[in-house]
Amino acid sequence: MSGKGTEALLKEIHVDPRDLDAIFITHEHKDHIHGAGILSRKYNIPIFANGETWETMADYLKKIDKNNIREFRIEEGFYFKDIYVEPVPVFHDAVNPNGYILKDDKFKISVVTDTGWINTQMQEQMKDSNIYFLESNHDVDMLKNGSYPWPLKQRVLSTRGHLSNENASELIKQLGKGSGEIIVLSHLSIDNNTPELAYKNMKKTLDEMGIELEIGAANLEVAPRYTTSKIYDFRRKK
């Protein structure tokens, strides 16, 4: 999103950009950092990223106030306010990409997109989350039969590309508990997936696991591409 685009969407959900505490970057690909520099300058917002990612994206973001350059090591968790932030290394064709596990004493959120592979360390870090904001990028058949040139198909399918609908299901087969967790399928390809297909695929997996959405054993959503996703307020539930 551009700075302007982000401002417009925040307005729709009645969030003042000045109230944002931080921007967390996962990797330097342009579609993930586009508006970050502008928002940071305009509203004095700190930007968090690991050292290698900072180095790679610094030129693109242009001048950032040095107080807003927040660098972390991918191997180390850290506190931001009362939230413990645990970077989770992912497999993607960027310099040093990471997802995030965000937790406090009661709640845990995993934000994992842009990864061609999930290893046991990642599973270990993600388990018992209240929210899995999880990539469900493509339907393998749609991708294979679609219009992408072959090298790009290979890139997406590789272990440094993106998680397919099937990959997302495999992960939830390992981690799903049916204890009310929220699964938000995200980073859907516009060419090689549809929200209906991604939803149907995960629903089938949950059905097979005996996790019934109807009784709230889990919640399943697809993050919309161009609008804001649902807001989850965990503080209120405490």
Residues that bind Zn ion (CB under 5 A): 29, 114
* In 49-194, alpha helices (H): 51-61, 120-126, 140-145, 150-157, 165-175
E strand or H helix at 83, and its extent? strand 83-89
CB nearer to Zn ion: give 26 or 40.
26
Q: If DSSP codes are grouped into helix, strand and coil, which group holds residue 4? A: helix
| Spatial distance between the Cα atoms of 145 and 84, rounded to a whole number of angstroms | 42
CB of 126 to Zn ion, least distance (A): 18
Instruction: Compute the C-alpha angle 5/168/31, nearest 5°.
Output: 25
Instruction: Report the nearest approach of Zn ion to the CB of residue 221 (Å).
Output: 19
Say how many C-beta atoms besides its own lie within 10 A of residue 178's C-beta.
15
Q: Cβ 135 to Zn ion, closest distance in Å?
A: 8
Cβ nearer to Zn ion, comparing 61 with 206:
61
Nearer to Zn ion, 29 or 177 (CB): 29
Nearest alpha-carbon partner for 162 in 202, 126, 115: 115
Using the minimum distance from each CB to Zn ion, give the nearer residue, 135 or 221: 135
Check if the beta carbon of residue 43 is closer than 8 Å to that of residue 15. no
Tell me the closest approach of the beta carbon of residue 141 to Zn ion, in angstroms.
21
Shortest CB 178 distance to Zn ion, Å: 29
The token pair that represents 89 in the structure block: 């290394």
Nearest to 138 by CA among 169, 109, 108: 169
Measured from the CB atom, the residue of 57 and 109 that comes closer to Zn ion is 57
By beta-carbon distance, which residue lies closest to Zn ion?
29
How does DSSP classify residue 138? B
**Please, which residue, 29 or 203, has the CB nearer to Zn ion?**
29
CB of residue 169 to Zn ion, shortest distance in Å: 20
Residue 131 CB, shortest distance to Zn ion, in Å, is 19
- Pick from 176, 181, 184, 185: nearest CA to 208: 176
> β-strands 181-186, 131-135: how paired?
parallel
